[in-house]
Amino acid sequence: MVTIALKSLFLLPLIFIVDYIVMILVGCVSCYFGVATDFYECSFCTIGKFVLLISAIAFIGVLIPDIKSLFKKPKVG
């Protein structure tokens, strides 16, 4: 249980910072290439949702072994 809490404590802020930096880079690159204003209403949000989805899947993937070991029954014998 402690490993799950520690991983959450350190990984979640790191993931959010990386996501934030990725979205800043996407915004800067799109601004540099002069995309239309409707990009920020539709495409930018879709990219943001995709980045957050990948981050959530990666975070859950990191936690799955710890969660499995939490519910694993010890062998008696």
Residue at 43 is within a domain: yes
Residue at 9 is within a domain: yes
Residue at 6 is within a domain: yes
The Cα 26–Cα 47 span in angstroms is 9
Residue at 69 is within a domain: no
Count other C-beta atoms under 10 Å from residue 75's C-beta: 5
Domain count of the fold of the chain: 1
Residue at 58 is within a domain: yes
Residue at 77 is within a domain: no
Q: What is the pLDDT of residues 15-56, one digit of tens each?
A: 999 999 999 999 899 889 888 878 878 888 899 999 999 999
Q: Containing domain of residue 42, as a range?
A: 2-64
Residue at 71 is within a domain: no
pTM for this entry? 0.79
